[in-house]
């Protein structure tokens, strides 16, 4: 199993090497890697939890600074946000879907074919409500029923800004959990 390098080694790596670590913590995503390289890597952090929480803070700022971000970087903020969030696989993705090693492990307990069908229906409703996004939630410790209730509530709420913020929070919670599981001194 992959093991994260010590944090000082990660900080000293070339961007291509850092991308491998970032892909393990989050999901493989060129947009997220670009964002982290431009808005996080140069900041001070001395552990993976600090690094992940810096990513969390900067992603939250991104959700709230559309015009400034776009003008400063020549990158449309909503497109960047959607690219980052949609890098996560659909919850309950069919078994034929190629998932990262970490996502496959996290989703394997989601249940029967009936549950898979229910999740597929909810994913479709979610993606119609929030075009360009994927439902992202920290699954660990939640029952299937809790996840379904959460997904239904978020669809009913129909608040795109809050949805983007919650998706980023969940991504970072997932990354913290993955870092802990990758058996490194945090």
Q: How far apart are the first and last CA of the chain?
A: 17
Minimum mean pLDDT among 1-5, 6-10, 63-67, 130-134: which range?
63-67
C-alpha distances (whole Å) from 30 to each of 18, 34, 49, 153, 162 are 12, 6, 21, 30, 24
What per-residue confidence (pLDDT) applies to 71? 46
What per-residue confidence (pLDDT) applies to 116? 78
Residue 105 has pLDDT above 70, yes or no: no
Say what the pTM is.
Answer: 0.85
How far apart CA 7 and CA 34 sit, in angstroms, is 19
- Return the closest-CA partner of residue 111 out of 92, 135, 138, 96: 92
For residue range 10-39, list pLDDT tens digits in order.
Answer: 999 999 999 999 999 999 999 999 999 999
How far apart CA 118 and CA 106 sit, in angstroms, is 18
Residue 83 has pLDDT above 60, yes or no: yes
What per-residue confidence (pLDDT) applies to 183? 63
The continuous run of DSSP H or E covering 98 comes out as none
User: To the nearest whole number, what is the mean pLDDT of the chain?
Assistant: 85
Q: 176 vs 103, which has greater pLDDT?
A: 176
Domain made up of 7-181: CATH architecture:
Orthogonal Bundle (1.10)
- Kindly state the tokens that stand for 106: 């996290």
- Kindly state the tokens that stand for 28: 């493989």
Given pLDDT bands bounded at 50, 70 and 90, which one contains residue 90? confident
Q: Specify whether the CB–CB gap between 144 and 13 falls below 8 A.
A: no
Q: What percent of the chain has pLDDT over 90?
A: 61
For residue range 145-173, list pLDDT tens digits in order.
Answer: 898 999 999 999 999 999 999 999 999 99
What per-residue confidence (pLDDT) applies to 27? 92
What per-residue confidence (pLDDT) applies to 92? 67
For the chain, how big is the Rg over CA atoms in Å?
A: 17
Q: Specify whether the CB–CB gap between 55 and 175 falls below 8 A.
A: yes
Q: Specify whether the CB–CB gap between 92 and 110 falls below 8 A.
A: yes
All structural domains of the chain with their residue ranges: 7-181
């Amino acid at each position: 199993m992959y093991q994260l390098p010590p944090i000082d080694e990660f900080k000293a790596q070339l961007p291509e090497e850092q991308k491998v670590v970032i892909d393990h913590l989050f999901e493989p995503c060129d947009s997220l890697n670009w964002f982290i390289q431009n808005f996080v890597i140069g900041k001070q952090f001395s552990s993976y939890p600090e690094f992940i929480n810096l990513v969390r803070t900067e992603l939250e700022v991104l959700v709230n600074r559309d015009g400034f971000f776009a003008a400063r970087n020549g990158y449309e903020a909503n497109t960047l946000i959607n690219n980052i969030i949609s890098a996560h696989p659909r919850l309950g993705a069919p078994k034929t879907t190629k998932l990262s090693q970490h996502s496959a492990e996290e989703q394997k307990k989601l249940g029967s074919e009936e549950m898979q069908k229910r999740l597929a229906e909810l994913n479709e409703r979610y993606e119609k409500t929030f075009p360009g996004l994927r439902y992202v939630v920290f699954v660990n410790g939640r029952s299937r029923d809790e996840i379904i209730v959460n997904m239904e509530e978020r669809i009913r709420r129909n608040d795109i800004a809050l949805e983007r913020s919650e998706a980023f929070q969940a991504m970072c919670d997932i990354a913290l959990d993955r870092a802990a599981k990758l058996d490194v001194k945090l």
